[in-house]
Structures are given as structure tokens and as C-alpha cells.
């Protein structure tokens, strides 16, 4: 027949049973009052009663006292206390996870599962737990919607949960890229080299661009967007010495892709490290923007435009004929699409002109294990 201690251990592993119940069982078995035990342990009767009820913990000192009074090892009491508190925490967590199922369903769950970032079978409380692990958070209370600085579009405003998932994957991918400490001058030189990559096919320049920027302290991540994330790119600093330029393929015309890259590079070089800057698909009117943010965006736009096509070519752009576009592009050292995109932006060409010189990019994104 099992002893009181053995019965207590069995209940402990099945349920959240406070070790105080075992103390109560032993008191009954030995016909001892709580007041008498408190006196032997050198604690107040009130404190002992709280221990028995589970509202107060068994300290290491109290465990040593119980070992002497009941001849039951201190390790037993310490272990029981630890198990009990752990089970209480798990019960509380399960309740919290259950309350947060609605929160979890706001994320792009299907897309995250398809990309391998969430278990396919995850649902309900398990889905919440899997999302917290993906986000690197202990609880839902630690999650905050991304505080971003970007131009919101009335027609294509990004969903915060989709954006948060997209940004998180970029952060995880960036961790895998080993970067040297950020060096602004080296990065400026790298951007001059990167301009020449625009004329190549992606399979020829993707790895080179990533390595070129990593050498300067900038991780470049090209990541497919989520359906509702609606962003072209984002810039943020992962540490004082490592920046992240994250690019999507939602608008996969090569000229838009490269303008976004150099726009984000301008943010890295010119703007505050504490900002999370996100570039949307469409640009809203200046009236909808914070004046300081408008200034930052204009500076990054100017940087991108002048890096891709230096100012000395601006006059020729205004006088260029359709047939001269490839010639000028070769002289500058960029893809013809970059020139076409600039001409579209300045209204020199209509948006339905020159599109045969613009390629659409496609990248194969690896699935997470």
C-alpha cells in the first residue's frame, strides 16, 4: 500500500497539488497541530498555514526544517515546490493562450505555415504558442504592433500583423548574414559597385549584392511579401553596428526594385538609427505625412535617384529619344529599365511606354526548416 509521501508524489505529477497538502497529511498521520509544527520549525502559525494552503512557498530553509521534523529529505520538498509552481505557471499560461487565440488569427497564419515558420498542425492554444516562439516573445503581453515611419496609402495600407510577420522573418534571415561593423564610406563605395549590378540578371548579382553590403555592415534580405503586408522595403538597425535593408517583390519591376534598394540605402547613410522606415507600394500625398518624415523620404528619394543616374546626365534625360535609352543606360552603367523608370517618374515617358525594356524579377525564397 503506498505511503502518504508516495500518494502525494503521484498526485503532484498529475495535478497542480501544493506541497502543503503533504504537510497536512503528515500532520494528520502524526496527530500534530499546525501550531505545534510551526513552533518546531521556528515560523509563525500564520506562515505555516499559508504554506499548507499553497499561498506561500517552501523556502530552502523551511525544507531543511521539514526534513528534520518529518524525516523526509529537503530535496523532496524543494522539488515538490518547484513542480507545483511550474504547474501553476503552465495553467496560467494555458488560460492566457486560450484568451489570445483571436490575436493569433490576425497574423497571416496560412502563409506562415506554407513558408515553414509555423507547424502545419498548430491551432488554437498551440497556434498562439507557436507564434510566440516565432516572434521570440515570452507572452502576448510583450507583443507590440510595429512602430514604423512610412508613407501610408489610403488605397493600400499595410496590415500591422502581416507587416510584423514580414519584418520578423527579415530579422531572422539577417541573423544568418555575418556582417563586418558598419562603415559608411565603405558602404558608399559598395553602392557605386551595386549600381553596375542592375544590368545583370538576378542569378548573377543576388549573392554578390549580399556579400558586398555585408562587408560594410549592412545585411540585405530579399523576401517575398505577405498578401496584406503591402510594402516594397524596410530599413532598420539591428545593432549599433549592423543595419538591415529588407526588400520585397510585391512590385517586381526591376527599376522599382533597385530604386527601393538605393532609397533604403539612403536611409542607412543619412537617417536616425532608432527609426524603422518602411516603404509602401503607393505614395500618399504630402498632406498626409508628418513634415519630418516627408523630409526624410525626399532625402532618400533624391539619394536613390542621383546614385542610380548621376546629376550630370539630367539634361540628357530631358532631351533623350526613345532609341537612345539603351545607349545612355550603357554609358551610365545601369539597366535600361532604370532609365525608363526615371523617365516615367518625370513624365517624359508615359507609363505604357518602354515597358519592353523593363524586366520582372522572380526569386526563389527558401522554405524555413
The DSSP annotation for 245-278 comes to EEE--SS-BHHHHHHHHHHHHHHHHHS-TT--EE
- Tell me, yes or no, whether 27 and 121 share the same domain: no
The domain boundary, picked from 116, 141, 166, lies at 141
The pLDDT assigned to 148 comes to 59
Whole-angstrom Cα distance, residue 275 to residue 271? 8
- Tell me, yes or no, whether 91 and 165 share the same domain: no
Helix, strand or coil for residue 226? coil
As for how many domains the chain has, the answer is 3
Cell output for 138:
515570452
- Tell me, yes or no, whether 73 and 106 share the same domain: no
The total number of residues shown for the chain amounts to 369
Q: Is there a contact between 243 and 213 (Cβ–Cβ < 8 Å)?
A: no
Residue with the three cell numbers 529537503: 74
Cell output for 224:
517575398
Instruction: Give the range of the structural domain holding residue 25, as residue numbers without chain letter.
Output: 4-99
Closest CA to 69 of 47, 38, 45, 48: 38
The pLDDT assigned to 282 comes to 41
Asked if the structure places residue 269 within a domain, the reply is yes
Return the beta strands (E) in the chain as ranges. 149-150, 218-222, 231-239, 242-247, 277-280
The pLDDT assigned to 290 comes to 72
- pLDDT tens per residue across span 47-97: 999 999 999 999 999 999 999 999 999 999 999 999 999 999 989 889 999
Count CA atoms within 13 Å of residue 298 on its CB side.
Answer: 9
The pLDDT assigned to 70 comes to 94
Other C-beta atoms closer than 10 Å to the C-beta of 200 total 13
The domain boundary, picked from 114, 141, 168, lies at 141
The pLDDT assigned to 158 comes to 66
- Tell me, yes or no, whether 304 and 181 share the same domain: yes
pLDDT tens digit at each of 369 positions of the chain: 455 555 555 555 455 789 999 999 999 999 999 999 999 999 999 999 999 999 999 999 999 999 999 999 999 999 999 999 999 998 988 999 999 999 999 999 999 999 999 999 999 999 999 999 999 999 999 998 776 555 434 445 568 899 999 999 999 999 999 999 999 999 999 999 999 999 998 889 999 999 999 999 999 999 988 888 888 899 999 999 999 999 998 878 999 999 999 999 999 999 877 788 887 644 444 445 678 888 888 999 999 999 999 999 989 998 898 889 999 999 999 999 999 999 999 898 898 888 899 999 887 665 455
The pLDDT assigned to 16 comes to 73
Asked if the structure places residue 359 within a domain, the reply is no
The pLDDT assigned to 283 comes to 45
Spatial neighbors of 44 by CB under 8 A, at least 6 apart, are 38
CA–centroid distance for 300 within its chain: 24
- Tell me, yes or no, whether 115 and 199 share the same domain: no
Strand partners, 231: 280
- Tell me, yes or no, whether 52 and 125 share the same domain: no
The pLDDT assigned to 272 comes to 78
- Tell me, yes or no, whether 89 and 113 share the same domain: no
- What's this model's pTM, rounded to 2 decimal places? 0.80
Other C-beta atoms closer than 10 Å to the C-beta of 31 total 7
- Tell me, yes or no, whether 189 and 293 share the same domain: yes
Whole-angstrom Cα distance, residue 1 to residue 13? 19
- Tell me, yes or no, whether 77 and 174 share the same domain: no
Q: Is there a contact between 80 and 19 (Cβ–Cβ < 8 Å)?
A: yes
Rg (alpha carbons) of the chain, rounded to whole number: 31
Amino acid at each position: 500500500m503506498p505511503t502518504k509521501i508516495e500518494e502525494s508524489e503521484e498526485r503532484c505529477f498529475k495535478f497542480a497539488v501544493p506541497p502543503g497538502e503533504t504537510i497536512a497529511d503528515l500532520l494528520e498521520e502524526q496527530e500534530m497541530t499546525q501550531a505545534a509544527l510551526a513552533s518546531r520549525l521556528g515560523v509563525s502559525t500564520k506562515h505555516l498555514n499559508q504554506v499548507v494552503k499553497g499561498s506561500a512557498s517552501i523556502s530552502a530553509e523551511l525544507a531543511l526544517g521539514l526534513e528534520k521534523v518529518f524525516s523526509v529529505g529537503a530535496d523532496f520538498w524543494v522539488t515538490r515546490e518547484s513542480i507545483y509552481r511550474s504547474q501553476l505557471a503552465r495553467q496560467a499560461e494555458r488560460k492566457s493562450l486560450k484568451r489570445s487565440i483571436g490575436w493569433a488569427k490576425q497574423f497571416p497564419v496560412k502563409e506562415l505555415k506554407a513558408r515553414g515558420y509555423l507547424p502545419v498542425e498548430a491551432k488554437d492554444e498551440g497556434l498562439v504558442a507557436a507564434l510566440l516562439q516565432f516572434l521570440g516573445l515570452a507572452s502576448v503581453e510583450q507583443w507590440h504592433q510595429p512602430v514604423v515611419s512610412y508613407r501610408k496609402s489610403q488605397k493600400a495600407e499595410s496590415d500591422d500583423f502581416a507587416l510584423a510577420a514580414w519584418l520578423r522573418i527579415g530579422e531572422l534571415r539577417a541573423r544568418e548574414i555575418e556582417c563586418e561593423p558598419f562603415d559608411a564610406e565603405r558602404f558608399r563605395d559598395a553602392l557605386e559597385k551595386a549600381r553596375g549590378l542592375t544590368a545583370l540578371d538576378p542569378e548573377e548579382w543576388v549573392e554578390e549584392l549580399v556579400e558586398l553590403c555585408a562587408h560594410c555592415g549592412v545585411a540585405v534580405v530579399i523576401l517575398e511579401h505577405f498578401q496584406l503586408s503591402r510594402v516594397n522595403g524596410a530599413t532598420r538597425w539591428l545593432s549599433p553596428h549592423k543595419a538591415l535593408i529588407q526588400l520585397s517583390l510585391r512590385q517586381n519591376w526591376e527599376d522599382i526594385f533597385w530604386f527601393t534598394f538605393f532609397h533604403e540605402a539612403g536611409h542607412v547613410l543619412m537617417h536616425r538609427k532608432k527609426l524603422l522606415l518602411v516603404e509602401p507600394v503607393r505614395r500618399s500625398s504630402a498632406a498626409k505625412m508628418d513634415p519630418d518624415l516627408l523630409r526624410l523620404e525626399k532625402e532618400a528619394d533624391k539619394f536613390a535617384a542621383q546614385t542610380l543616374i548621376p546629376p550630370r546626365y539630367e539634361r540628357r534625360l530631358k532631351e533623350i529619344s526613345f532609341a537612345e535609352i539603351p545607349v545612355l543606360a550603357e554609358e551610365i552603367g545601369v539597366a535600361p529599365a532604370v532609365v525608363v523608370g526615371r523617365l516615367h517618374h518625370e513624365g517624359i515617358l508615359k507609363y505604357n511606354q518602354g515597358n519592353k525594356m523593363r524586366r520582372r524579377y522572380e526569386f526563389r525564397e527558401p522554405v524555413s526548416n
